[in-house]
Amino acid sequence: MRNKVLTVTIASLAALALGVLAADPLKCPPTTEKKPVVDTYHGVRVTDDYRWLEDWSDPAVKFWSQAQNACARIYLDKLPGREFLRERFSVLLGGASPGFYDIEAREGALFAMKRQPPKQQPFLVALPSADDPGGARVVIDPNVLDPRGITAIDWYVPSPDGKLVAASLSVGGSEDGTVHVFDVATGKEVHEAITRVQEGTGGGSLAWDRDGKGFYYTRYPRAGERPQMDLNFYQQVYHHTLGTPEAKDTYSIGKEWPRIAETALQRSDDGTHILATVANGDGGEFAFYLLGPSGTWTRVADFSDKAVSTSFGPGGDLFILSLKDAPRGKVLRASPKEPDISKAVVVVPASDAVIESILPTESHLYVCDLMGGPSRIRIFDLAGKGLGEVPVTPVSSVGALVHAGKDDLLFSSQSYLTPGAWYRYSTASRTVSKTALAQTSPADFSDTEVVRTMAVSPDGTKIPLTLLMLKGTPLDGNNPVLLTGYGGFGISETPGFSSARRAWIEQGGIWAIASLRGGGDFGEEWHEAGKLTKKQNVFDDFAACARTLVEQKYTRPGRLAITGGSNGGLLMGAELTQHPEMFKAVVSHVGIYDMLRVELSTNGSFNIPEFGTVKDPAQFKALYAYSPYHRIKKGTAYPASMFLTGANDPRVDPMQSRKFVAALQSANGSKNPVLLRTNAKAGHGLDMSLSERIEENMDVYAFLFSQLGVSLPKPAEAKKGK
């Protein structure tokens, strides 16, 4: 009852905030009270004026957030072209053909996640083959389970015989998943649900027993087992037998793992072995443990061995992707009888290519490489003898490799200009054919070209910059340009299709993608060069790309906008505070801005191996030097900015956006708007419903087009565009 009263009170405050601000727009942005708190780090005193905005349980913080949302709505709802954009995104995002991803093969059938507008959430289907999408049968549809459209499938795992499927379901973008078991033939839930298997911090995973009568799964502590602050840490592996209560589940492994362990489980094809891949947070360190028929776990590799992934081959052999003395990757092979990595042999040596993933089949080993952006697939026998390459579309990316029987291969691929499709490689004919699992889009990029140029960072490093624009776009320095980047966690910028991007390009805009250090575009050395105390390199790289766009006459500062999300949101905050004069507008999604407090949030702890910790003097010095929240300067003329966050975000605490916006609004020496848009139905954005995506894109593009002076057509013309 107490919670219910509090909810009503907060709702009333929100309504009051909206009413007051709508009646008097001069109150936007609302004045934010400063309540200074002083911390001392290694002798450095740091004042935090907005610490109070961290406490989401405080009704005053909720009122402040609602007031900020009301101000954002007052501003955004008056922007020109909104109805055109709503109609356009309804076509671009809602008019695409069904798309299939996360394919798993079992007993002659395929399971796949299916995205089918206008359904709000993707759903799980079983289909006879990649050539018969019409034969797909729905197994789990969260749109039926929850008509609100806010329940999502985090991941799924079919049983070995394909008769059952276990799936993690979560609500409202929380990624807080409970595992449910469904009968594939009927689509009905069977057996008992298992709670706290999946979180937005350390993720979650599951691997079935050989006979399908139980499974191993990742388990987070229950209330009372650890202090409240540790309940989303200390992930361990337990075993569950179907038909028994969760309380009877047995511990298997994990007590010795780090607090920030992130575990992925997989079963060998013959069902005799289970592999646990344990990440030490998000910094790229992994350990591997193998469970054999004896029922005991054996450590295959430790964090210091620099192995990054392992796949099962014939007979349970382990094929290991290693970065030790090979920052772009090499492939090792180890026997399950002697799984120690020190006894593994090299089957694919290091080369100039960055190895992204591997897939062993009955007698082949497929190796997917990253060639500075685009992908290629090499073929080897299991001893490492080269057998050629799988033909792939030029300047495309390969997203997944799936064993399609014996040595044949299914792989997904897309480019900047063509939507994703699944292809089959036949070892018999050595040819590639597009399957029926190919997506079409209302976004036609036949008038668009892809241009690759280079920027030079202050230390002389060349930074690839990819541009998408209409053919014949004049280089007169007056084009609206949207520059984006990420630069972290070893994540690479690869060719990818976006229907929404069409709305930018068809208005004469240029979309620019920076391949920054901190990513994995050129291997682990590229990642390490933008990590921990070297993070400033990422921000310097991005600024160099912005300068290059101006120098090469693609645009000018008055028509240049930037955008990024999550770690890319940190990038936005750094650019905004370090180079406010370089950009006309900034849009930042679910970003990190207070680098001295981020490690105190749950997911922030997992990020310590990537960003560093204030407990280390050298790392504190680097964090404090670039922390966007602490680099805001009173009276600086900041560009127009919009910050988006999700109230249920498990990966980046929304307080990051609240504090940064409060400080920026207080210090801003220009009349440019600083907006905070909080989505009460979303988290980090991964599970956002279709309707929410349309609304968010409409707000973002209307804001950017307005700031860059782009006039939009009337609503009736939305369906006529390419």
Sheet of 375-381, strand order: 354-360, 364-370, 375-381, 386-390
Burial of 256 (0-12, 13-18, 19+ CB in 10 A): exposed
Cα distances from 328 to residues 277, 354, 356, 523, in angstroms, run 20, 4, 9, 5
Q: Would 212 be classed as within a structural domain?
A: no
Residue 625 three-state SS: helix
Whether 444 and 722 have beta carbons less than 8 Å apart is answered as yes
Is residue 296 included in any domain, yes or no? no
List Cβ<8 Å contacts ≥24 apart for 598-603.
598/653, 598/656, 601/652, 601/653, 601/655, 602/199, 602/201, 602/232, 602/233, 602/650, 602/653, 603/200, 603/201, 603/650, 603/651, 603/652, 603/653
Beta strands 560-565 and 510-514: pairing type? unpaired
pLDDT digits (tens, 9 = 90+) for 259-286: 999 999 999 999 999 999 999 999 999 9
pLDDT-derived band at 650, boundaries 50, 70, 90: confident
The overall average pLDDT reported for the chain is 94
DSSP 369-395: EESSSSEEEEEEETT--EEEEE---TT
Q: How big is the CA angle at 418 (ends 690 and 692), to the nearest 5 degrees? A: 10
The mean-pLDDT minimum among 21-25, 131-135, 227-231, 446-450 falls in 21-25
Compute CA 715 distance to the chain's CA centroid, rounded to the nearest angstrom: 32
- Which one-letter DSSP state was computed for residue 435? E
- The amino acid at residue 306 is K
Q: Tell me what pLDDT residue 524 has.
A: 97
83 Cβ contact partners less than 8 Å away, ≥ 6 residues apart: 715
Closest listed residue to residue 261, CA positions, set 308, 295, 220? 220
- Residue showing tokens 């002389």: 460
Give the model's pLDDT for residue 497.
97
Please check whether residue 682 lies inside any domain of the structure: yes
Q: 372 pLDDT band (50/70/90 cuts)?
A: confident
Task: Go through the chain and tell me how many residues it has.
Answer: 722
Confidence grade of residue 27 (pLDDT, cut at 50, 70, 90): confident
Radius of gyration of the chain (CA): 25
* Number of compact structural domains in the chain: 1
Each residue's pLDDT tens digit, 525-563? 999 999 999 999 999 999 999 999 999 999 999 999 999
Are 100 and 133 in contact by the 8 Å Cβ rule? The answer is yes
Residue 3 has pLDDT above 80, yes or no: no
Q: What is the pLDDT of residue 107?
A: 80
| Residue 323 counted as domain residue | no
Token pair belonging to 569: 């949101």
> Do strands 640-646 and 585-589 pair parallel, antiparallel, or not at all (unpaired)?
parallel
Averaged pLDDT for residues 577-588: 98
**Token code pair at residue 626:** 């670039």
> Residues of the chain with pLDDT > 70: what percent?
95
pLDDT digits (tens, 9 = 90+) for 611-632: 999 999 999 999 999 999 999 9
Count of C-beta atoms within a 10 Å radius of residue 534: 13
Q: By C-alpha distance, which of 430, 348, 350 is closest to 386?
A: 348
Q: Let me know: does 102 contact 399? Beta carbons within 8 Å.
A: no
Residue 17 has pLDDT above 60, yes or no: no
Q: Is residue 20 pLDDT above 50, yes or no?
A: no
Per residue in 305-331, pLDDT (tens digit) is 999 999 999 999 999 999 999 999 999
Looking at residue 719, its pLDDT comes to 61
Residue at 682: amino acid letter = A
> What does the block give as tokens for 575?
């650019």
pLDDT at residue 459 is higher than 60 = yes
Picking from 465, 463, 531, 468, the residue whose alpha carbon sits closest to that of residue 501 is: 468
- Whether 519 is covered by a domain: the verdict is yes
Is the CA virtual torsion 510, 515, 519, 521 positive or negative? Answer: positive
Per-residue pLDDT at 722 exceeds 70: no
Q: Which domain holds residue 476?
A: 27-91+443-712
Contact (Cβ atoms closer than 8 angstroms) between residue 702 and residue 718: no
Asked if residue 679 lies in contact with residue 645, where contact means CB atoms within 8 angstroms, the answer is: yes
536 domain residue, yes or no: yes
Tens digits of residue pLDDT in 219-232: 999 999 999 999 99
Please check whether residue 643 lies inside any domain of the structure.
yes
Mean pLDDT of 339-360: 97
pLDDT digits (tens, 9 = 90+) for 394-436: 999 999 999 998 999 999 999 999 999 999 999 999 999 999 9
Task: Tell me whether residue 68 is in a domain.
Answer: yes
CATH number for the domain that contains residue 492: 3.40.50.1820
- Spatial distance between the Cα atoms of 284 and 306, rounded to a whole number of angstroms: 9
Compute the average pLDDT of residues 361-373: 95
Q: Which of 366, 479, 470 is nearest to 423 (CA)?
A: 366
Given this model, what pLDDT does residue 718 score?
A: 61
